Amino acid sequence: ALATHGILNVIQVMLSLDDVTTKQAALDVFASIVECNPSTVREYMLQETQSTQDDDELLLNLVISEIQSDPDPELSGALNLMNYLKLLIDPENMMAVVISEKTEFLSFFYFRSMSVLLAPLMANTSDLRLTRDDFHIGQLQNLILDFVTFCIEHHTYHMRNFLNKKDLLRRVLVLLKSKHQFLQL
């Protein structure tokens, strides 16, 4: 019922603000909605693509931005949000009744959001060497790798195309040079 009254639009506006407390409240509500009704969130995100050309303004990309900017050294907030992203893109969590939901949403995700999610990893492995190797960046890249692994396991077709197009495997192999053992594994 809240979704029909524009709660996801309100969350999107709140995530665009600079107030940390407001953003945290918006993320808490977003997480609750995703947990209870991920299909409604996917539907909103697909509708949003019809009216929004700027990828930075998309709700999904605003959430990804919050993952990337988590100030916590352990990235506990980012880890929680990443798990909610997994709920959104998990094919087993998509309704079989709406056949196009899976195809449309995954196409949207890989076309407009996956590059945004991978941006820190791609930036840090440019020229096929690690630019930064501090703990915070290592933790973020570990989260991203975990997400990529999830995508490989659940979206073979989409992920194979994405891996080839973005030369992602070569970038991931650069992480073997990291001083952080959790990335070397």
Q: What is the pLDDT of residue 95?
A: 74
Q: What is the pLDDT of residue 22?
A: 97
Number of Cβ within a 10 Å radius of residue 176: 10
Q: What is the pLDDT of residue 94?
A: 85
Q: Is residue 96 pLDDT above 80, yes or no?
A: no
Residue 29 pLDDT level (bands cut at 50, 70, 90): very high
Residue 181 pLDDT level (bands cut at 50, 70, 90): confident
Distance of alpha carbon 83 from alpha carbon 74, whole angstroms = 15
Query: Tokens for 183?
Result: 């990335």
Pairwise pLDDT comparison (162 vs 1), residue with the higher score: 162
Helix (H) or strand (E) holding 108: helix 99-108
Pairwise pLDDT comparison (182 vs 87), residue with the higher score: 87
Closest alpha carbon to 174 in 137, 159, 69, 152: 137
Q: Percent of the chain, pLDDT > 90?
A: 77
Residue type, 147: F
Q: Is residue 185 pLDDT above 60, yes or no?
A: no
CA distances (Å), origin 151, targets 1, 5, 117, 138, 156: 31, 32, 12, 20, 7
Residue whose structure tokens are 């692994």: 149
Q: What is the pLDDT of residue 106?
A: 94
Residue 125 pLDDT level (bands cut at 50, 70, 90): very high
Residue 114 pLDDT level (bands cut at 50, 70, 90): very high
